[in-house]
Amino acid sequence: MRRLGVAMVGGSFMGRTHSHAWRTAPHVFDLPAAVDMVVLAGRDAGRADAAARQLGWRGSTDDWRSVLERDDVDLVDVCVPGDLHEEVAVAALAAGKHVLCEKPLASTLDAAERMADAARAAADRGVLSMVGFSYRRVPALALAQRLVADGRVGDVRQVVVSYAQDWLVDPDFPLTWRLQSDRAGSGALGDIGSHAIDMVQHLTGHRFTDVVAAAETFTRERPVMTSSEGLSATGGSERGPVTVDDTTAWLGRTDRGALVVAHATRVAPGRKNAFRLEVDGSTGSIAFDLERLDELQLHDATAPAEEAGVRTVHVTEPGHPYLEGWWPPGHSLGYGDTFTHQAKDLVEAVVAGEQPRPSFDDGLQVQRVMDAVAASAREGRWEHVAA
């Protein structure tokens, strides 16, 4: 069997989820290549070594560039903060390594443009790349996309989407890189709003053309971190400025005449990971809630009134997307399993020599929407999404 050597750059939250996926995918699916978790690269040698041992990597390094010189590495998985995506991904592509890069593609539109350019040039040499919008691999959402494409809701007229979390409600949560615009690019908009943008476009096949938005930062200063993990900063006296949004809301129009109402926030008390959306069409609707990950709600507006109503489909059957290798019907999957599906799709695409999706161009298009949303929030007017 062909071997696929993987290196991962970054070993924190996303590094853990991606490591779980690389470990698990070969045991769930009949992959066309044997995944070899070669090396984890981190900034600190000691922490990188500890993470590698815990997460299942054969080795570790504190020099990410060294992994690009290794003949036993075929693919680089980029799990570092957004401001480092461009440097690592472009260098990996130039070195002939396939790339998986976490979302959003970059912290700025200019960086995303350069990354997409590099990906297109690399593809001409047979080097492939993908951006990690993992929610495309939730079985219920994959089923929803299939149903919309098959015309089960008719012509899409409107989409309502909201992504709410509460981890920034506490004003003493420390000033991590995700709260600094020079590192993250934006706050709720880029972190979770990018998922909303990608999913709306993926489910419907539409593209945003125009947006009008408002954004707010409710806690403008937070404790400065005094350690790399930020644990000792909670309740500290020194505070620094928050330079990203806590909440962004926007109204959008699509290229096929639909309206989108969207909202992303990290300050919604009690909402841990509430990603909800509804697609309403001319003959039906589909609704999903990530906190009920294995359920999809369907309504057929063409049914007789006596039979009309929203019904819930439990997406756990072996005929549903990705579920052929998992548990018997009725046994739910979880958040981490979406990354396992992502790894499966990427390995299959690389072995087949086919462009995996979402591509860097897809990531760039999401970045353009985000840029228009941010500009609208600043200027207080409708903004056109660049083509």
Please check whether residue 350 lies inside any domain of the structure: no
Quick count: other Cβ atoms within 10 Å of Cβ 170? 12
Question: Could you tell me the residue range of the domain that residue 10 belongs to?
Answer: 2-135
What is the structure's pLDDT at 121?
98
354 exposed, middle or buried (CB, 10 Å; 0-12, 13-18, 19+)? exposed
Q: 102 and 51 in one domain?
A: yes
- Cα–Cα distance measured from residue 17 to residue 7, given in angstroms and rounded to the nearest whole number: 14
Tell which of 135, 164, 192 closes a domain: 135
CATH number at residue 161: 3.30.360.10
Please check whether residue 57 lies inside any domain of the structure: yes
Q: 255 and 125 in one domain?
A: no
The pairs formed by 23-29 with CB atoms below 8 angstroms and a separation of 24 or more are 23/55, 23/56, 24/336, 24/337, 24/340, 24/343, 25/340, 25/343, 25/344, 25/347, 28/325, 28/326, 28/340, 28/344, 29/325, 29/344
Q: 271 and 148 in one domain?
A: yes
Q: 130 and 12 in one domain?
A: yes
The domain total for the chain is 2
pTM for this model (two decimals): 0.95
What is the structure's pLDDT at 318?
95
Tell which of 118, 135, 152 closes a domain: 135
Q: In what order do the strands lie in the sheet with 129-132?
A: 59-61, 33-41, 2-9, 75-78, 98-102, 129-132
Q: 323 and 184 in one domain?
A: yes
What is the structure's pLDDT at 231?
40
Q: 201 and 178 in one domain?
A: yes
CB 267 within 8 A of CB 167: no
Please check whether residue 191 lies inside any domain of the structure: yes
Q: 322 and 230 in one domain?
A: yes
Q: 174 and 291 in one domain?
A: yes
Please check whether residue 338 lies inside any domain of the structure: no
Please check whether residue 152 lies inside any domain of the structure: yes
Mean pLDDT for each consecutive 10-residue tract of the chain (387 residues)? 96 94 97 98 96 97 98 98 97 98 97 98 98 98 98 98 98 95 96 98 98 98 72 63 98 98 98 98 98 97 92 97 95 96 98 98 98 98 95
The beta strands (E) that lie in 165-246 are given as 208-216, 221-223, 239-241
Tell which of 101, 135, 169 closes a domain: 135
Please check whether residue 340 lies inside any domain of the structure: no
Q: 107 and 191 in one domain?
A: no
Quick count: other Cβ atoms within 10 Å of Cβ 271? 19
Please check whether residue 386 lies inside any domain of the structure: no
Q: 167 and 115 in one domain?
A: no
CB 333 within 8 A of CB 293: yes
Q: 187 and 124 in one domain?
A: no
Please check whether residue 214 lies inside any domain of the structure: yes
Q: Which residues pair with 4 in a beta bridge?
A: 35
Please write the tens of the pLDDT for every residue from 174-220: 999 999 999 999 999 999 999 999 999 999 999 999 999 999 999 99
CB 21 within 8 A of CB 339: yes
Q: 110 and 146 in one domain?
A: no
CATH number at residue 121: 3.40.50.720
